[in-house]
Amino acid sequence: MNITGIIIAVCVVGGTGLLIGIFLSVAGNVFRVETNPLVDEIIEALPGNNCGGCGYAGCSALAEAIAAGEAPVSQCPVGGDPVASVIAGIMGVEAGSADKQVAHVKCKGNCDLTFSNYNYKGVMDCRMANFVPAGGPKSCDFGCIGFGTCADVCEFGAISVVNGVAVVDKDKCKACGKCIEACPKHLIEMIPYKAKYAVDCMNKDKGPQVMKVCKTGCIGCSLCAKECPVEAISVENLLAHIDQEKCVGCGKCAGKCPKGAITKLQ
């Protein structure tokens, strides 16, 4: 091979590479997006779970939103007040304080209080079982299926299945919200850590039908609402609900409920 041809080829390749390098360097400077230096500090302070419980697509997205003033310093439910305090220091603002929220399963229809319509032989996943007749083998179409899909998605080990019903350990719960998304029956909600009572039922059928499928289901009788001295309970769609902001924890509603559908939490 002609040595001159080799030299020319090397020069052409080398020159092309040099030109591309210069172009990329210039383009990088021209199109460079200035980043907020606070973002990296905030990311360092966040727990890094990337759970999405804050409403953003991971910790980086939340950090950018906080740095831009589009989200409060207390937006991370996993980090809670300690992380909010650190981020407040970074941002130079007051952290404030918010009531800790925890997940709660609104069903107490365990294997002793309900029954099975048939023997289920499919995949042990609540979302899959929800597609079979009656939305699962349990007698109550609205109740916890009990296969533990919510427990599977919980990164903090805060949920376990006890006698056929999912139960949340509120001291382990970080309020990330993954269990809420995973439950096909929409039984899980966030309530204040300090909440005293909750209605543990989601059955919207009429009383006689509820009693046929569960021994402890809410029958919509409204006795609890009539007994509440602060009007913290309302009954809609034949189902009682407690407004936790109004509830004073007197327990009169639980004492009046004829089916024991209202649970004392602490």
Given a cut of 60, is residue 1 above it in pLDDT? Answer: no
Task: Determine the CATH number of domain 195-266.
Answer: 3.30.70.20
Sorted by where each begins, the domain ranges of the chain are: 38-91, 99-194, 195-266
Which stretch of 68-77, 188-197, 254-263 has the lowest confidence by average pLDDT?
68-77
Supply 139's token pair.
């007698």
Give the long-range contacts of residues 81-86, CB within 8 A, separation 24 or more. 83/45, 83/46, 83/47, 86/45
Cα angle at 227 between 221 and 230, to 5 degrees? 125
38-91 and 195-266, same CATH topology: no
Bridge partners (DSSP) of residue 235 are 240
pLDDT in tens, 83-139: 888 988 888 887 776 678 899 999 999 999 999 999 999 899 999 999 998 889 999
pLDDT-derived band at 31, boundaries 50, 70, 90: low
Supply 62's token pair.
């939340």
Give CA–CA dist 164/224, Å, rounded.
27
Confidence (pLDDT) at 144: 97
Residues 6 or more apart whose Cβ sits within 8 Å of residue 121: none
Given a cut of 70, is residue 32 above it in pLDDT? Answer: no
pLDDT in tens, 146-158: 999 999 999 899 9
Residues 6 or more apart whose Cβ sits within 8 Å of residue 100: 80, 81, 175, 192, 193, 194
The domain 99-194 having CATH identifier 3.40.50.9100: the answer here is no
* CB 253, CB 197: distance < 8 Å: yes
Task: Determine the CATH number of domain 38-91.
Answer: 1.10.15.40
State the pTM of this model.
0.75
